[in-house]
Every structure is written in structure tokens, then in C-alpha cells.
């Protein structure tokens, strides 16, 4: 049954110049479910997430929330997005983790030092990583800091672009359990990891 916050892609087409990336794509994203977008490299998975965030707009078709067209500002307020190549600059991890809480829509959720340490610890990262410049971290460490931020932001919608691609299988399983056990959240992800794929409620092949 449709929920008023289900997200509906309706005959969406999108091109970069002459390159048709998405052609007449229709699917529904159900509230409170984990929807996984699957497809070959370059098939348009990240582009779908960016269309959802309003960074791009469909050439044809519509993306709407049940009856209304989604306003990008509205969806961004409700969403934590983990991009594939996370570059949060050269400030310390501690500062980088605080940054999203400076935005007006997140100010009520300010995070404490204790919460930062606890979530990093759960993700297998030591406390002293807080003092390291973000840019000096390994890809897998960056990915885990990004996941920690998404977790602390506690938004109703999570957009996760290859969230565990640089991690070992134990971390992959752990992170899948951490993020996917909260059934109140709508999660839209792209991933090739079997431990992640098998936890999808719906798979959309593009």
C-alpha cells in the first residue's frame, strides 16, 4: 500500500549532453524500507541519488512524493547523504563531524564529544582519530566517518552511495546491521556487497 511519503519516479529521463543516462525510468521507493539500486558501473546509480537531492532535474518525467512534486529543499532537510567519494576537507575529523550540525535545519541535534567517540568506536575507529585531518584518513576510514555523521544526523531518509565498498567483510556486516536495523528509516542505497544486497527489501535494477 502506498504511503504519503513514498517517493515515486515517474517516467524519468536524464542526459548529460548527448549521453542518455536514464531513459523512461519508473519505480517507487517505499517509506521505512531499504531499496537498493543495482546496475553496472556507469549505469546511472549515483545520478539517481543526485536527482533525488535536486542537484539535477529530470529532462522528462517527475520525481514526486506521492501526490506532490518533491521540493529539493524539503528532501534535503530530511536526508542524510553519503556520497561515493567523500571529501570533507582538511579540518580535523572532530570538526568535520560537527560541521553538518551548524546548518540551521540540524542545529537542534548538536552532537557531543561522547556521542562522537561512541559511534566511532562502534565503527571500529579509535578515539584519537578525532584529532587527525580528515584528508589524511584512508578511504575506509573516511567511509566510516561519513557513516558516523549520517548516523548522528538521524534523518528519516538515508541515501548511501556504495557505503561499504572500501571496508573488510566484518565491518561491512557490522555497518549493515547498524544502519539497516532501524525500520523507521527509508534507506536508498547503491552497493555491490553481498552482505548489503541481501538486506535490501526491494532491488531496482537499472
Ligand X SMILES: Nc1ncnc2c1ncn2[C@@H]1O[C@H](COP(=O)(O)OP(=O)(O)OP(=O)(O)O)[C@@H](O)[C@H]1O
Residue 16 found at the interface with ligand X (CB under 6 A) = yes
Whose Cβ is closer to ligand X: residue 23's or residue 47's?
Answer: 47
CB of 52 to ligand X, least distance (A): 12
Whose Cβ is closer to ligand X: residue 16's or residue 103's?
Answer: 16
Residue 46 found at the interface with ligand X (CB under 6 A) = yes
CB of 76 to ligand X, least distance (A): 19
Residue 18 found at the interface with ligand X (CB under 6 A) = no
**What's the rounded Cα separation, in Å, for the pair 39 and 206?**
5
**What's the rounded Cα separation, in Å, for the pair 151 and 145?**
10
**Interactions with ligand X, residue window 53-92 (CB under 6 A):** 84
Whose Cβ is closer to ligand X: residue 18's or residue 102's?
Answer: 18
Whose Cβ is closer to ligand X: residue 41's or residue 128's?
Answer: 41
Residue 23 found at the interface with ligand X (CB under 6 A) = no
Q: Which of 45, 142, 144, 199 binds ligand X (CB under 6 A)?
A: 45
108 DSSP assignment: G
Whose Cβ is closer to ligand X: residue 29's or residue 152's?
Answer: 29
Residue 156 found at the interface with ligand X (CB under 6 A) = no
Whose Cβ is closer to ligand X: residue 3's or residue 165's?
Answer: 165
Q: Which of 42, 126, 133, 194 binds ligand X (CB under 6 A)?
A: 42
Residue 14, strand partner residues: 22
Q: Strand ranges (DSSP E) for 39-191?
A: 60-65, 68-69, 79-82, 157-161, 186-190
Q: What share of the chain is helix, strand, coil (3-state, %, to 5)?
A: 40, 25, 35
Size of the residue set binding ligand X (CB under 6 A)? 12
Q: How far is CA 162 from the centre of its chain?
A: 9
Per the rule left: phi > 0, alpha: psi between -120 and 50, beta: everything else, 17 is: left
Alpha-carbon separation of residue 102 from 105, 111, 130, 159 (angstroms):
8, 10, 18, 20
Question: Which of 169, 160, 170 is closest to 191 using CA atoms?
Answer: 160
Question: Interface residues with ligand X (CB under 6 A)?
Answer: 16, 19, 21, 39, 41-47, 84
Amino acid at each position: 500500500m502506498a504511503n504519503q511519503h513514498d517517493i515515486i519516479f515517474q517516467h524519468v529521463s536524464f542526459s548529460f549532453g548527448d549521453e542518455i543516462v536514464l531513459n523512461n525510468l519508473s519505480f517507487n521507493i517505499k517509506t521505512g524500507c531499504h531499496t537498493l539500486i543495482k546496475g553496472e558501473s556507469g549505469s546511472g546509480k549515483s545520478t539517481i541519488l543526485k536527482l533525488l537531492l535536486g542537484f539535477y532535474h529530470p529532462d522528462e518525467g517527475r520525481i514526486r512524493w506521492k501526490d506532490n512534486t518533491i521540493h529539493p529543499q524539503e528532501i534535503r532537510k530530511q536526508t542524510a547523504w553519503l556520497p561515493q567519494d567523500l571529501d570533507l576537507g582538511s579540518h580535523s575529523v572532530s570538526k568535520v563531524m560537527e560541521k553538518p550540525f551548524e546548518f540551521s535545519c540540524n542545529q537542534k541535534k548538536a552532537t557531543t564529544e561522547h556521542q562522537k567517540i561512541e559511534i566511532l568506536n562502534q565503527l571500529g575507529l579509535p578515539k584519537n582519530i578525532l584529532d587527525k585531518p580528515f584528508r589524511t584518513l584512508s578511504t575506509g576510514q573516511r567511509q566510516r566517518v561519513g557513516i558516523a555523521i549520517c548516523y548522528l544526523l538521524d534523518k528519516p531518509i538515508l541515501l548511501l552511495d556504495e557505503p561499504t565498498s572500501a571496508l573488510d567483510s566484518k565491518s561491512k556486516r557490522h555497518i549493515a546491521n547498524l544502519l539497516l536495523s532501524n525500520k523507521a528509516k527509508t534507506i536508498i542505497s547503491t552497493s555491490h556487497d553481498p552482505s548489503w544486497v541481501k538486506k535490501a527489501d526491494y532491488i531496482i535494477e537499472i
